[in-house]
Structure 1
């Protein structure tokens, strides 16, 4: 999508297009507060205060909106797609060329590759060269460089500082090279002694006083003492933390993967109304919630906004709208879990309506697995909506707790004030839902060997949380049921990708695992699906593998592949207690791990010995040795 940036984060200035990214990338890769590395620039996506919601289309998904409000407050009124430039707007001087997501130059320190001068962008040493017809050529140049000919294009400084509370700042170059506060105002130069690019071969030097220091001094435990205290800066908000920050700065590299981790909530758009009118109103509530009277309803019908309700009278439609406005909708009684309504629909597919964005078909499980699988549901069409609620730096959300217990001060805000809307994207796809037999699951869970293994994983879970100094180390344990379903999901993702036409990274999992003791339990199911912003996610290649005679072959192939790993016997001998940093057993990149974009749990809580016998043990396998 079109980017419409402000080149500096202070006074208003001319706006230039500098690049394009997809809407989905603005949620999962380059969201608010993230740094985008462009061909000649490094820019940061600004906070929602600078966005223009007038060009951001609203997305209707009431369950997800309620979940977002629970996290950010009731003032959040809508989910919106990031602003997108209209199709066919090729004129760079047209007003539509300014539609996009605002960004600002960051880091603000830049380096001349020829004379090695290191200076901030606003030092008047660098000039902006824009190209309205080729945004990718927008760059800064060092106009007074000693290089003969055209002035060289400067590069962003590759070192930054950040803290675990989401703050990010320019590297303190003067403080670092002078080993503390200094009144010296000499020019700085960043010199490379070798060709490796490693920090040990890079020196920052002051021209005036001759002070110099290796960049390797900024990293590691000793590097913490070389850094000043965190200033609490949020460059995406042009602001500093109100009460400062008590964290120590940590040096990171520009483009480091730990500089930004998005926090997103995801929901599948499933129907919750029981009647046809209610389902249609639910699907078009983004439009109908603006209807405040019969007259407005008639006006909407007259301008063609209610084409889906041609067969429904005004009386019936108005009655349903009044019921939702009055709190009589199913949403008012929504369970807090986003997955509970999805489970109810997938486990009762015959009562689910066939809507444009949701179609399911119940099929028989493969004959060889009817003793463990109760139902297979082909999800021919589905819609997934994801919303961004914040982000973290240095440490990913999964490193805090699997149950989502993220400290409030570690989540960086999207705006200076509580947001009235949050960015969201919707994608469409297809999938296969596996419902496991609850009795078979409970019988397996009560086996002595499985219970002993669960205690072992629980101890590893406690150790893992204590290592990270998380409150209540014994909280958030998902149970051995989730380990089984999670391992099965990964095995099937790797197997189905061989034939369905999608890559492993294009497939995702959604685990439904709750014991009977939980309020919304019991649940024991897995949804494997693909969702993409274009037609790739709905080609039918995944659903076509759900036929009983085809799916049985793939389940058998997936389980057979889990018996032996290329890393055995080391992989099979691994247990969750092998080290304090692991939460998986017999699992590795050669057998069970998948891309983290496909996994709900960051490749944790996995063990293939729960599926089938391995070379190390055979007393835990749910599917036994006869598959």
Structure 2
């Protein structure tokens, strides 16, 4: 069901293969009609170039469309697109999207057997050219896409696809290249608002100061730009009436007053907000880093309890009968479980054997599938109170349980664990070690924001831009990674005692004050009432986080993977109602292919090797090439940085490794540095 908030014309739907199919249906060759214009890894299409984001190709830019168009691509090939099975993640995503029947699906894709094979050409992420105002590199003509020709004639070189200004006259005064074809590039200015809308810049209205051209209805425009890369340096020139206006007038706070109000456009959905928007707009560049912030959730798939199994089965039954819920009511009224089994045969997503489901579990799942679910008010309250840490709690609880033996594997989740003995010399504060020989990590995209990341606001549901036009989407895109890792658990009584001491220390009080200043100075204009203390991580988080970073640096020297390939998963929170305290970490590496990784990381969990890695990591943490400046860095009044004794020389990691963008780090919480004696591990070495 399409959301009634949107104005949408189905006749303008993006269909990259439509022209080729029409040509073949007419009996003509489609030899020179190649829809593919680029490629990307699943992780990049989730975290950098998802629906609504702009991807920079060699000769132009495209925007991934909404999931409605992705569905059309899947349906060209299969009636039942593949699904990724991650029940705990699916449950959270369903609540965030207000859609009980939501499913997790991969990107439309089919791997090629060889570099020159053609299978999978009819699968891919649909995208539209955006922005659609282009500038000729030969004569500076500024015009919509329809004024330029398109070439894409090589089946194995999508990077050669480009738009051209045919018979370009060249610039005035130049005698070379007359009437030649010149490449056209995107005009790089856009309009965006804080509610996630994005629109083309109205160049024709801008140059004429929001009045029509006095000479013609459709004037000839040119964009004169000789200093690319220096902000809004271009000048828009109307070749018909001679009007000129520089783009730098639209920059800054003063420039915003000269821009039009937002029209409420969502180009990835090819739709407008029904009632418009009316927010103030601001000038954006095509490559701006704040143009698209993904909102994702991820889990490491763990074995589930009996109640979780039943709830998951109920969700899958509900999805299987989404179009015919009355049949479920019939099965419940008659108690016909065998008829239900027959009807479910082959229709349940994920690994399940319908015949092996016990009758009592099937009956309970059937009853749960027929419940009305939570109301919109309950879901709104849940989203307001929900903490992403809730996704980590089941992982922590399971990792506290010793595996049954070496290489113990759970078939449903794919998780394989082995207990490791502690080396005699291993720091006593590390009480438990697990080798995670195989793991499966699932990441799902639930929406995105523009201008401000969700980390800066308290209005998640209000500012989240939908990925599809449907009010309750049937699915969302997800990726599945496989890999390995090492789990370390710290001594909880020691951590609790240390944390109580640190909370009274002047260093922690300085970090708390700096965090409040940072929160107040960086909070978005659209933020709701949020206490800065709710966003501050506790001291144990700083400890575990810093330990994870120094271990990543040391492990990268030993395991064969680069530091950027290793990532952290932190379990660090004090106890509360329904949530046991946690102090531990998982260092892992994952890959999006079916084979996972090579085992070099998990080998470091062997007792003597881990002892060497931990000792060396703590020893190196005691020295930084930026000391004493780094080792004594403490935020003072007016300073609002969110780290202490940590820099890129000693403790900071790449953005692919860190879940907090190198915030909440301080080596003084980890070890004793000169002038500080609150390190959890005491002296380094």
Alignment TM-score, normalising by the size of structure 1: 0.86
Question: Is the alpha carbon distance of 1:499 and 1:341 closer, same or farther for their aligned partners in structure 2, counting shifts above 3 Å?
Answer: same
On the 8 A contact 2:65/2:127 being kept in 1, the answer is yes
On the 8 A contact 2:417/2:434 being kept in 1, the answer is yes
On the 8 A contact 2:213/2:241 being kept in 1, the answer is no
Counterparts of 1:538 and 1:130, CA distance in 2: 37
Aligned position for 1:39: 58
Show the 5 A alignment for 1:290-369. Answer: 294=338, 314=355, 320-327=361-368, 337-350=390-403, 354-356=409-411, 357-369=414-426
On the 8 A contact 2:310/2:361 being kept in 1, the answer is no
Q: What residue ranges of structure 1 are gaps of 5+ in the alignment?
A: 1-7
Structure 1 residue corresponding to 2:455, chosen from 388, 398, 408 = 398
On the 8 A contact 2:671/2:684 being kept in 1, the answer is no
Counterparts of 1:23 and 1:244, CA distance in 2: 34
Q: Secondary structure at the match of 1:499?
A: helix
Cα distance per residue 1:207-238 (max 9 Å; x no partner): 12322233333333333233222222110011
Counterparts of 1:354 and 1:284, CA distance in 2: 25
Counterparts of 2:285 and 2:495, CA distance in 1: 47
Structure 2 residue corresponding to 1:14, chosen from 12, 16, 19 = 19
Question: Is the alpha carbon distance of 1:191 and 1:560 closer, same or farther for their aligned partners in structure 2, counting shifts above 3 Å?
Answer: same
Aligned position for 2:324: none
Question: Is the alpha carbon distance of 1:320 and 1:485 closer, same or farther for their aligned partners in structure 2, counting shifts above 3 Å?
Answer: same
Cα distance per residue 1:120-179 (max 9 Å; x no partner): 113xx2122232624333322212421436412211112222222211111232233334
Aligned position for 2:677: 619
The offset of 1:363, in angstroms, is 1.2
On the 8 A contact 1:483/1:607 being kept in 2, the answer is yes
On the 8 A contact 2:314/2:366 being kept in 1, the answer is no
Aligned position for 1:70: 95
On the 8 A contact 1:9/1:104 being kept in 2, the answer is no
Show the 5 A alignment for 1:227-626. Answer: 227-273=259-305, 294=338, 314=355, 320-327=361-368, 337-350=390-403, 354-356=409-411, 357-400=414-457, 405-418=458-471, 419-447=473-501, 451-469=505-523, 470=527, 471-474=529-532, 475-534=534-593, 537-577=596-636, 579-615=638-674, 617-625=675-683
Aligned position for 1:127: 149
Counterparts of 2:283 and 2:201, CA distance in 1: 8
Question: Is the alpha carbon distance of 1:283 and 1:498 closer, same or farther for their aligned partners in structure 2, counting shifts above 3 Å?
Answer: farther
Question: Is the alpha carbon distance of 1:10 and 1:449 closer, same or farther for their aligned partners in structure 2, counting shifts above 3 Å?
Answer: closer
Aligned position for 1:156: 186
Counterparts of 1:144 and 1:110, CA distance in 2: 16
Cα distance per residue 1:20-48 (max 9 Å; x no partner): 22223221121011111122231110011
Question: Is the alpha carbon distance of 1:166 and 1:201 closer, same or farther for their aligned partners in structure 2, counting shifts above 3 Å?
Answer: closer
Question: Is the alpha carbon distance of 1:534 and 1:97 closer, same or farther for their aligned partners in structure 2, counting shifts above 3 Å?
Answer: closer
Aligned position for 1:139: 162
| 335-344 vs 597-606, greater mean Cα deviation | 335-344
Counterparts of 2:502 and 2:573, CA distance in 1: 20
Cα distance per residue 1:247-289 (max 9 Å; x no partner): 33222222222211111000111002369xx989979997998
The offset of 1:606, in angstroms, is 1.0
Counterparts of 1:517 and 1:421, CA distance in 2: 34
Counterparts of 1:100 and 1:396, CA distance in 2: 28
Question: Is the alpha carbon distance of 1:127 and 1:626 closer, same or farther for their aligned partners in structure 2, counting shifts above 3 Å?
Answer: closer
| 474-483 vs 198-207, greater mean Cα deviation | 198-207
On the 8 A contact 1:264/1:387 being kept in 2, the answer is yes
On the 8 A contact 1:269/1:382 being kept in 2, the answer is yes
| 105-114 vs 182-191, greater mean Cα deviation | 182-191
The offset of 1:92, in angstroms, is 9.7
On the 8 A contact 1:487/1:611 being kept in 2, the answer is yes
Matched, 1:28 2:47: yes
Structure 2 residue corresponding to 1:175, chosen from 196, 205, 221 = 205
Q: Secondary structure at the match of 1:40?
A: coil
Question: Is the alpha carbon distance of 1:323 and 1:351 closer, same or farther for their aligned partners in structure 2, counting shifts above 3 Å?
Answer: farther
Structure 2 residue corresponding to 1:216, chosen from 222, 225, 248 = 248
Counterparts of 2:341 and 2:459, CA distance in 1: 44
Matched, 1:187 2:240: no
On the 8 A contact 1:49/1:416 being kept in 2, the answer is yes
The offset of 1:626, in angstroms, is 5.5
Q: What residue ranges of structure 2 are gaps of 5+ in the alignment?
A: 1-10, 21-34, 170-176, 322-327, 329-336, 374-381
Question: Is the alpha carbon distance of 1:77 and 1:360 closer, same or farther for their aligned partners in structure 2, counting shifts above 3 Å?
Answer: same
Aligned length: 603
On the 8 A contact 1:398/1:601 being kept in 2, the answer is no
Question: Is the alpha carbon distance of 1:283 and 1:324 closer, same or farther for their aligned partners in structure 2, counting shifts above 3 Å?
Answer: closer
Alignment TM-score, normalising by the size of structure 2: 0.79
On the 8 A contact 2:101/2:319 being kept in 1, the answer is no
Cα distance per residue 1:452-480 (max 9 Å; x no partner): 43333222222222223442233232211
Counterparts of 1:422 and 1:577, CA distance in 2: 45
